[in-house]
Structure 1
């Protein structure tokens, strides 16, 4: 069974949900602690949502310097798939694994709602099972979710097909170009603000659409 690491920082809220999503997709979740550096032989890593270290300094800034993140950075640079969700997306940007930054929402309000997302690329391990143009519905919940990058970075992301998810049916936080998620140059590292791990069960989520990200990953790893 494919082992997928799920990191817990002080203030992480959604590690249990991410682990449940991995298990529901057919993988084996492995708990990784922020103060450790051993990735325990996992094949991929999820950096889940929450408020790591209370979002002091900047959202994700302190967590990006945790010992486990140096191991994640090293592994990502040689091709390990990594998914950052919400606070995890913020952490990956702060760690330099993804471009841009997540700023306070337009209107300065916390947003919590079910959100339509459009799949913009399938050239990542996390979206391989989708088709370009597919729309999924997953929850979004953030106050620092407004994606921002300079004009040159935005142009490069668009030109290189590195916008992975785009908000559809209304932009909840003012993100530039309606960007909900982006990927690294090799497509192996993906970050998004909405929460696919909260859309894996019809009883508790608005859909089961989020399960596709985790099944896609496991399919890619099984075929490697």
Structure 2
């Protein structure tokens, strides 16, 4: 029976992945270079899938001051992301989970202060009983460690939990941990392959968590 739900953060709760891609495109245009989404997508949901400076130096034939590059990138990104609101449907699903008595966790490849800052800013931090981040594991997604840590923290078994993801790397991590996984792709992840997941939705808006929980809980279906 489903006892917990575990959210990814970037791209599921906050539309940060789209914003970072827009910022990176702007940074690359300064060097008259395009950044194809197919290349950038390697970085989504993980920490080590793509080195933006190595790619830029190789293809634009320039030498980049790493510190200056990241300082400018982060300033542009933070200016945009600090104005973002929670993605549609997130608060509804959190309320539904609370009403159903589900434990709620967060598993993100980002550093811990990042999600905590924005969960607080968005007014939803109190919903989460467990937050596991880059700081808590040796390897981030697509390695399953973050989800395994989340399950341990919430005190549930893999088949008692549903992960909500938006990326290939994140969903692969959840499945490797033995969990059910549903994905809600966004503008920068919709082209990714998701044949390995248990469900795919256009949005969390108007989602019935009770129906999803029942679907993944055979003992509830037999009672219906």
Q: What is the TM-score normalised by the length of structure 1?
A: 0.29
Please identify the structure whose Cα radius of gyration is greater.
Answer: 2
Relative to its length, the structure with more helix (as a share) is: 2
Query: Greater RCO between the two (CA within 8 Å, min separation 6)?
Result: 2
Q: What is the TM-score normalised by the length of structure 2?
A: 0.29
Relative to its length, the structure with more strand (as a share) is: 1
